[in-house]
Chains A and B, each alone.
Chain A
Amino acid sequence: MDSIHDLGGKQGFGPVTVTEDEPAFPEAWEGRAYGLVQSVGDPGSTIDWFRHIVELMPPAAYLTEPYFQKWQYVQIIELIQAGKLSMDEVLSGQASKPGDPASKRSLEKVLAIIHDKNHSFERKIDAGPAFVLNQWVRTKRHMTEGHTRLPAYARDSLGDVIAHHGSHALPDAGARGEDVGEHLYTVRFTAAELWGDEANPNDDVTLDLWESYLVPA
């Protein structure tokens, strides 16, 4: 969807605030927010629906909310939609009905959970790939109300396939709760193709793109 999240190439943000080294969670609330999102969610959700909820935030909120507050929006919305929390509870902080204390997870258990999140997104399908290495392809306009992973800056652009990764779960479908496999490629675009005359001729940009985003050039 054409929301403000699709930032590639947007101008006017000014310089990057550079840090060389910083703690994992510079502010204490960030660690709490991260841990909460990892601990309490909707097991029926998908990574794509999670990302799409972030994209559905009002633009002003998207640009001003810190990273883990965006995650917290998703967490709250998923829990409300799953019927596990109410908006009244979220805004008042008052539980409608107290529950039995949750069991504690140890550091070792948490480290094991992180290790087990080594998910593969590969999905075996019968269809062979439509494109081969070094083939020229063009991205579609591919404009949709829903979730997609073709950024606006790379629409209707000419590139060449530099890798084929087999078939992976298609995010456009995942955000609707559907598990659909589709061939995935890394496509290289020259900087000049994307950005015009100002680009350095030695530079390029690669994107990982699903087959339905592409047509033969």
Chain B
Amino acid sequence: MATFDREDAAKLARHLHSHLPSDPALRTKTLESLLVERGFVAPETIDAWVEAYSEHIGPKRGAQVVARSWVDPAFRARLMDDATAAIAEFGFDGDATGHLKAVENTDTQHHLIVCTLCSCYPFSLLGMSPAWYKSAAYRARAVREPRQVLSEFGVDLPETVGVRVWDSTAELRYLVVPQRPANTDGWDEARLAALVTRNAMIGTARHLKTEAA
């Protein structure tokens, strides 16, 4: 059972910091071998977890949700009202999406998602988070100088477009719904979904490109 003993946990963390080998690959291999030998896990189970997030769960899920919100006003209303229930229509609800909120960009408002305290992320909808989202630089700067951070992603916002930064401090998770690009009238959902990038759904991209579609 968990002890919730914080002094002891801090002491153990210091000991690990002093004694673990520096190479993360070696550490992980050693730990996996140990946990397999102790009978706590089978290597094939780890394979399955890797495959789940490498092949089956990723930002294409979120892109499908965004594309449907563009073509189906009733779905859009459900998404904005209760995003957890709306993504369940696709079967995309799961890890870290029990309290999902969708926020829509407009001509005058841009949304940006961060977790300054750890790296909270809606895994079952967007898959594993990108390295930049977990970086100290992004977590530190997104709340304080969002416009500079956005410009590093190639997004240069006019002063008149407001930026709202959502710091994920509770179990709510956020999905940015980017604006539908112009000149996509008549496109079907699948073609539209192909335009929606992971970064756009976190808010570090704004204008989706149509030429590659």
Tell me whether A165 and B172 are in contact (CB under 8 A). Answer: yes
From the candidates A8, A78, A110, A146, name the one contacting B6 in the complex (CB within 8 A).
A146
Q: Which residues of A contact B84 (CB under 8 A)?
A: 118
Total CB contacts across the A-B interface at under 8 A: 345
| CB pair A99 B37 closer than 8 Å | yes
Report whether A99 and B99 are in contact in the complex, using a CB–CB cutoff of 8 Å: no
Please list 12 pairs of residues, one from A and one from B, whose beta carbons are closer than 8 Å in the complex, sorted by A's number. A8-B167, A34-B50, A34-B53, A40-B40, A44-B1, A54-B118, A69-B27, A102-B39, A105-B48, A110-B45, A120-B98, A168-B170
Q: Is A208 an interface residue (CB 8 A)?
A: yes
CB-CB contacts of B51-64 with A at 8 A, as 1s and 0s?
11110111000000
CB of B167 within 8 A of CB of A207, answer yes
Q: Which residue of B lies closest to A1 (CB)?
A: B6
Q: Is A110 touching B137 in the complex (CB atoms < 8 A)?
A: no
Interface size on A, residues (CB 8 A): 125
**Lowest 10 CB-CB distances: which A-B pairs, in order?**
A99-B39, A35-B49, A8-B116, A208-B170, A35-B46, A202-B162, A31-B50, A13-B137, A117-B95, A29-B25
Closest Cβ–Cβ distance, residue B160 to chain A (whole Å)? 7
B123 partner residues in chain A, CB cutoff 8 A: 114
Which of B11-19, B66-74, B179-187 is near enough to bind chain A?
B11-19
- Which one, A10, A56, A76, A114, contacts B94 given CB within 8 A? A114
Task: For B16, list chain A residues within 8 Å (CB).
Answer: 61, 73, 76-77, 90
CB <8 Å contact, A202 and B58:
no
Q: Which residue of A lies closest to B146 (CB)?
A: A203
Chain B residues whose CB sits within 8 angstroms of the CB of A99 once the complex forms: 37-40
The reply to whether A208 and B168 contact each other, CB–CB distance below 8 Å, is yes
In the complex, whether B163 has a CB less than 8 A from a CB of chain A is: yes
B12 touches A205 (CB 8 A): no
A contact set with B: CB distance below 8 Å? 5-11, 13-29, 31-36, 38-40, 42, 44-47, 49, 51-54, 56-58, 60-61, 63, 65-69, 72-73, 75-78, 80-82, 84-85, 87, 89-91, 93-95, 97-107, 109-111, 114-122, 145-146, 149-151, 153-154, 165, 168-169, 171, 175-177, 184, 186, 188, 191, 194-195, 200, 202-210
Report B-chain residues with C-beta under 8 Å of the C-beta of A98.
37-39
Give chain A residues whose Cβ lies under 8 Å from the Cβ of B31.
33, 36, 72, 75-76, 90, 93
Chain A residues with CB below 8 A from B54, complex form: 23-25, 31
**B35 close to A40 (CB less than 8 A):** yes
* Besides the known contacts A36-B35, A200-B159, 18 further A-B residue pairs in the complex with CB atoms under 8 A apart: A17-B137, A25-B53, A29-B27, A32-B50, A35-B49, A51-B118, A58-B14, A90-B34, A99-B38, A104-B42, A105-B45, A150-B169, A171-B170, A176-B4, A177-B4, A188-B164, A203-B163, A208-B168
Decide: A16 near B164, CB < 8 A? Known: A82-B1, A115-B93: no
The answer to whether the Cβ of B206 comes within 8 Å of any Cβ in the partner chain is no
Contact of B135 among A17, A31, A57, A61 (CB under 8 A): A17
Evaluate whether A32 and B38 lie within 8 angstroms (CB atoms) in the complex, with A8-B139, A17-B135, A44-B1 already known: no
Q: B77 contacts the other chain (Cβ, under 8 Å)? A: no
Instruction: With both chains docked as a complex, state the minimum distance between the C-beta of A61 and any C-beta of chain B, in angstroms.
Output: 4
Residues of B within 8 A of A15 (CB): 137, 152
Please pick, from A16, A26, A107, the residue contacting B153 in the complex, using a CB distance under 8 A: A16
